[in-house]
Amino acid sequence: MASALVLLAASPPPGADQGRVVVAVAAIVSREIAMSALREWAAAQGPEAHGAVRVSALGKGKTAAQMVGTALLLFLRPPFPAEAWGRAPLGVGWLLSTAAVGTEAGRRGLGAAGLLALDAAAALSVVSFFQYFRGLLPFFFP
């Protein structure tokens, strides 16, 4: 998932604001790295601390939004940057979305939905990280 997110940050689909994608990806990937470290630390502290970082509904919502947003944005993205070929060949996802949606407005709608889902995943990443961290505070200062 991190590789797909970094790919989107480096080369978002046409019409997507790259800065917006980069901020969302940075929040999501940073949270994943921090949570991996916190979960390892909590597991070493014992079952009570490990229970404090048990998967929550916010975390599951973050994952769902992240997967929907990433899939939609990858679906609309051409496979190669335009500058690599002079004019990028159309990606299979882009062709399928054209056939399925049929209009430029439809593709923009899918792109907007993908960006909104990625923004939601970024927001839930931050909120859920602080929720988990708050649960671990008693174990940092016994």
Is residue 4 a part of any domain in this protein? no
Tell me how far apart the alpha carbons of residues 5 and 1 are, in angstroms, rounded to a whole number. 6
Q: Which residues contact 119 (CB under 8 A, 6 or more apart)?
A: 20, 24, 69
The count of domains in the chain is: 1
pLDDT of residue 88: 46
Is residue 123 a part of any domain in this protein? yes
Tell me how far apart the alpha carbons of residues 48 and 25 are, in angstroms, rounded to a whole number. 31
Please compute the mean of the pLDDT values over residues 74-84 and round it to a whole number. 64
- Cβ contact 79:41 at 8 Å: no
pLDDT of residue 107: 73
Is residue 12 a part of any domain in this protein? no
Per-position DSSP letters for 15-47, written without gaps between them? T--HHHHHHHHHHHHHHHHHHHHHHHHHHHH-H
pLDDT of residue 22: 96
- Which pLDDT band, with edges at 50, 70 and 90, does 79 fall under? low
Tell me how far apart the alpha carbons of residues 123 and 55 are, in angstroms, rounded to a whole number. 17
Q: Which domain holds residue 48?
A: 20-140
Per-position DSSP letters for 71-95, written without gaps between them? HHHHHHS-SS-HHHHSSPPPPHHHH
Is residue 2 a part of any domain in this protein? no
Backbone Cα Rg of the chain: 18
Is residue 39 a part of any domain in this protein? yes
pLDDT at 81 over 60: no
pTM over 0.75: yes
Is residue 58 a part of any domain in this protein? yes
Tell me how far apart the alpha carbons of residues 135 and 89 are, in angstroms, rounded to a whole number. 49
Is residue 40 a part of any domain in this protein? yes
